[in-house]
Structure 1
């Protein structure tokens, strides 16, 4: 007798900063029959996915495609492919994932200079620009939305200065793409990395990226060196670069796979591509501006509900990440007990945090398919109930009413328009 039961995961209301709930249409798409990776039907899907990614990244870049792997695979693919050992990389850190950029850059052989600001805030762009002038980096790598602290860094001024000084500007937009504007071209970003499992609402397993001609020039230079090392006679000069240290994450090879040449590099993750294609189609069908407005509305309702409950937000509200809300855990309250009761009694998952914020804040995500009125009202009512059950005094009933008022006011504005 088989001791393993048939898989039957519990239904959850997932209100974390990722992963989030997946649209049923995406799950249906992922169940479709497998096509060969060079089947014309499949290569057409690849081309359409690239077209849709250009729209979502708000770019005219030719190269906009997913790297197979979680979001971190996209970050690593970009950094390991463009960092030449000895390059100077400046990383402004305002949360956990800035440290990840530092680690990957160091492993790629970079000379890393990092600067930090207090968690719960972001950098004044002029401070970063001053550091750029001081350190004269080859690359600036920066997180757009920090899910660890619920903060979002302004990018436009930094990107403009990087372009003026011919510095490559790389942005981790894993938490923001599909939920808030990411203006790749307007903000002069050379490479952007996204994620599927957050505002795009596709299971984790692909990392959409985009990069421009400035990045491609460096990729092709390093690829020439790689070929030259195999055949020195093909080089007409002394090598000044070294080949990319990774085979799997070598963007020049992945780019050839996504080009019209379809040079084989790996076996494409067929079902994941189905899911990404459908997720992007749904996103663009909703429309970028309407999608951004939906995230803002549900954030506002959640925030007003949290405040009406007598709880306080963590971090600078002026730079708050719209799709992640961080809440200070009340004094004397065991945050993990509350999270466990939300999961066990209401089927709701919210997140704790990392490092210096561990045990101090809760993080609630309003991302993609999870970002809706039902979920916001559900999490507010459940959190209030659990807090009261744990002995915390609060104005019962006010949280949901505050959120309902936000939704009612929004409905009036829509009617008046």
Structure 2
């Protein structure tokens, strides 16, 4: 066994991360993370926290006051949302069209909730009418939905679901980890009560901080649970014990921490807050609409290039995520070997998928700082070379030409 004293200084390889996330981090965000740590109650620090709240209201397209960060990767905010909203025995309608709908189901189970799933074949999206029918049948307290499921490169349209949830007075939670900052996302206009994300995809930050926004309806539901829990703890209410299963992910406590009262809850991840602040500043500077348009352009170019090469793109054009493209692995081709050659020969990472799509598709992303013309063209040129070297018959060079034309198309 190697003795720790012999471990070398970190020197990670330089990769162009063109998979489903994480993506390369913008240099300004890396610089922000290098700044000195200050105390969590320092007035400068608490001012930064207020600035983060204001910045992410712009990113989420919301007026929600309670727009803040959960310390941890994107999943930490997913768990905080569900732990705080789902009470034992609560029914939760979950549209499922990929791996991350399965994740929501698991977390709801862990919260003691009752998942009521609406399933479609991977690569499809769920008809809002089916969700309304499930609401009418099950009378849930919450609908929990993924926006863009990177396992299938598919984006679920949300606006009609939000309207249905409001019509039936049901809270609506959306996991926007893979889409915020890269696809159109309208928290208020789509009647979304809680939305969560992560920095490591279209926002082009590092994993480790998770933005979340809460509507007044959601806040009222969370605070009611806190009141009920206090009643149970003092014997003033009926029940089997405290109803909020986590201290760290209790959004009522996190709101107190982010409020002017600054009620101590945890030590804020200072460097990650710096990163999250600079991440949102970059989005606001570019403009949300302009940033979304850039991701759409990159996705359009990637799809055009792959098709021009003679490859088959996975999924439906109408519901494909703009920032992650799936492509079928040709018959007889070793999925893993192609990915290894892309990484070893060109320093480019692409990935496979999960579940029924394991080994059957490659997923190629163009997100954040990598949703650029040069990065798309470099990836397609490398892919062309690697596939041809493994004997795949392609229209050599056509992919780059088609992507260039698609990028420049009005």
- Structure 2 length normalisation: TM-score? 0.97
Gap runs ≥5 in structure 1: 411-417
Residue pair 1:91, 1:98 contacting (<8 A) in 2 also: yes
Q: How do residues 303-382 of structure 1 correspond to structure 2 at under 5 angstroms? A: 303-382=303-382
Match of 1:255 in 2: 255
Deviation string, structure 1 residues 149-187 (Cα, Å, up to 9, x no partner) = 000001111111111111111111111111111111111
Q: What's the offset of the Cα at 1:230?
A: 4.4
Aligned to 1:59: 62
CA contact (8 A) 1:91 1:101 kept: yes
CA shift for structure 1 position 68:
0.5
Partner of 2:288: 288
Distance (whole Å) between structure 2 residues aligned to residue 348 and residue 273 of structure 1: 29
* Structure 1 residue 199, shift from structure 2 partner: 0.7
Normalised to the residue count of structure 1, the TM-score between the two structures is 0.95
For the aligned residue pairs, the C-alpha RMSD in angstroms reads: 1.4
Equivalent residue pairs, number: 407
2:226 aligned to 215, 223, 226, which one? 223
**C-alpha displacement of 1:409:** 3.1
Change in 2 beyond 3 A, CA 1:130/1:226: closer
- Contact in 2 for aligned 1:84/1:241 (Cα 8 Å): no
Q: 1:86 maps to what in 2? A: 89
Q: Secondary structure at the match of 2:6?
A: coil
Equivalent positions of 1:9-158 (< 5 A) are 9-158=12-161
Q: CA deviation at 1:322?
A: 0.8
Deviation readout 1:285-327 (Å, 9 max, x if unpaired)? 0001110110011111111110010001111111111111000
For 2:137 and 2:293, locate their aligned partners in 1 and report how far apart those are by CA, in whole Å: 39
Shift, 1:270, TM fit:
0.2
Contact 1:325 1:364 in 2 (8 A): yes
SS in structure 2 opposite 1:92?
A: strand
Q: Distance in 1 between matches of 2:72 and 2:282?
A: 22
Cα offsets for 1:192-239 (capped at 9, x unmatched) = 01111111111100111001111111211222233334444xx5x656
The question of 1:390 aligning with 2:390 is answered: yes
Could you tell me whether the CA contact under 8 Å between 1:84 and 1:242 is conserved in 2? no
Q: Aligned-pair distance for 1:359? A: 0.6
Query: Structure 2: how far apart are the matches of 1:182 and 1:402?
Result: 29
Kindly indicate whether the alpha-carbon contact (under 8 Å) linking 2:309 and 2:394 is maintained by their aligned counterparts in 1. yes
Distance 2:7 2:238 in 1: 60
CA contact (8 A) 1:222 1:244 kept: yes
Residue 192 of structure 2 corresponds to residue 189 of structure 1:
yes
Could you tell me whether the CA contact under 8 Å between 2:300 and 2:407 is conserved in 1?
no
Given that residues 93 and 143 in structure 2 are in contact (C-alpha distance below 8 angstroms), is that contact kept between their aligned partners in structure 1?
Answer: yes
- Report if the CA contact (8 A) 2:232-2:242 is conserved: no
Structure-2 separation of matches of 1:169 and 1:405: 40
SS of 1:64's equivalent in the other structure is: strand
d(CA) in 2 for partners of 1:23, 1:208: 18
**Cα distance, 1:131 vs structure 2:** 2.0
For structure 1, which segment, 353-362 or 110-119, has the greater mean C-alpha deviation from structure 2 after superposition? 110-119
CA contact (8 A) 1:298 1:372 kept: yes
Query: What displacement does 1:5 show?
Result: 1.0
Helix, strand or coil: the match of 1:268? coil
Matches of 1:91 and 1:406, distance apart in 2 = 36
